[in-house]
């Protein structure tokens, strides 16, 4: 039996020149991502070696667990930018938005228009991995009523939809854009997540991608996505991310 090795592509050639990572956790000590300023810079340096030079990092805004405010996020972003300049990493562009849990606190922020957008009126949202909010479609409607466009982070990771694929079509019809976690193309989150991500790709339901980088292990695993087969599947999405420049 002959085994054919997957055609590997170095990530520096995998990502297009103007790729923008719109989902990551690179600000220091603010959520479950980078723990320190040094860790932030190390993560950005590693991603830079992969050819990723533009970031809109997205710390969690999640109830009492990560009660980040727009001001606290901007303050941490300033720290990272200043450190990048000190280290002469002038080719890096980093901005910050947030990954908003669609909960009661989010509805309050939405009412006050206290929202950090990825760019223009795009906002990154998520929900619990255990179940969707009972008023999910009301929240999506409120988001759009306020003039924002919701991008749902990693829809493939919501296991409660895996046996109800029609729910994805319902979300799209309601106005949700979808962001694929690149590590979902690997077994990182489980075989079921990998299977659903491929199904969503096949059905052309994704709009954008993100690394969702939290730590160095994620970046080591990210190397596994660099295959010709994966590039063929998501090249259009990698290019879609350029709109956030």
Domain ranges (residues) in the chain: 11-244
CA dist., res. 163 & res. 152, Å (int)? 19
CA dist., res. 160 & res. 178, Å (int)? 16
Please tell me the CATH code under which domain 11-244 is placed: 3.20.20.140
17-39: b (≥16 Cβ within 10 Å) or e: eebbbbbbbbbbebbebbeebeb
Strand order in the sheet with 60-61: 60-61, 99-101, 122-126, 149-153, 177-181, 208-210
pLDDT of residue 7: 79
Contacts 24+ apart (CB under 8 A), 183-187: 183/211, 183/212, 183/218, 183/221, 183/222, 183/225, 184/154, 184/156, 184/157, 185/224, 185/225, 185/230, 185/233, 185/234, 186/221, 186/224, 186/225
Of 166, 225, 160, 228, give the one whose Cα is nearest residue 199.
Answer: 166
pLDDT tens by residue, 106-156: 999 999 999 999 999 999 999 999 999 999 999 999 999 999 999 999 999
Average pLDDT, integer, range 87-105? 97
| Whether the Cβ atoms of residue 24 and residue 97 lie closer than 8 Å to each other | no
Specify the pTM: 0.96
On the question of pLDDT at 3 being above 50, the answer is: no
| Whether the Cβ atoms of residue 139 and residue 109 lie closer than 8 Å to each other | no
pLDDT of residue 178: 99
């Amino acid at each position: 039996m002959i085994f054919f090795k997957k055609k590997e592509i170095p990530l520096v050639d995998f990502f297009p020149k103007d790729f923008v990572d719109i989902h990551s956790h690179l600000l220091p000590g603010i959520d479950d991502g980078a723990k320190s300023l040094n860790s932030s810079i190390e993560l950005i340096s590693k991603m830079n070696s992969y050819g990723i030079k533009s970031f809109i990092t997205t710390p969690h805004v999640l109830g009492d667990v990560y009660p980040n405010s727009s001001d606290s996020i901007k303050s941490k972003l300033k720290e990272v930018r200043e450190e990048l300049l000190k280290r002469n990493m002038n080719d890096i562009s980093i901005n910050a938005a947030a990954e908003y849990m669609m909960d009661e606190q989010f509805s309050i922020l939405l009412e006050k228009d206290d929202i950090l957008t990825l760019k223009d009126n795009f906002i990154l949202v998520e929900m619990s991995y255990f179940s969707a909010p009972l008023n999910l479609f009301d929240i999506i409607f409120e988001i759009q009523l306020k003039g924002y466009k919701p991008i749902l982070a990693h829809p493939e990771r919501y296991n409660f939809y895996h046996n109800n694929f029609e729910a994805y079509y319902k979300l799209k019809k309601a106005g949700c854009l979808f962001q694929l976690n690149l590590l979902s193309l690997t077994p990182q989150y489980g075989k079921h997540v990998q299977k659903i991500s491929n199904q969503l790709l096949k059905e052309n339901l994704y709009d954008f991608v993100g690394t969702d980088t939290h730590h160095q292990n994620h970046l080591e695993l990210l190397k596994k996505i660099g295959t010709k087969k994966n590039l063929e599947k998501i090249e259009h999405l990698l290019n879609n991310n350029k709109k956030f420049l």
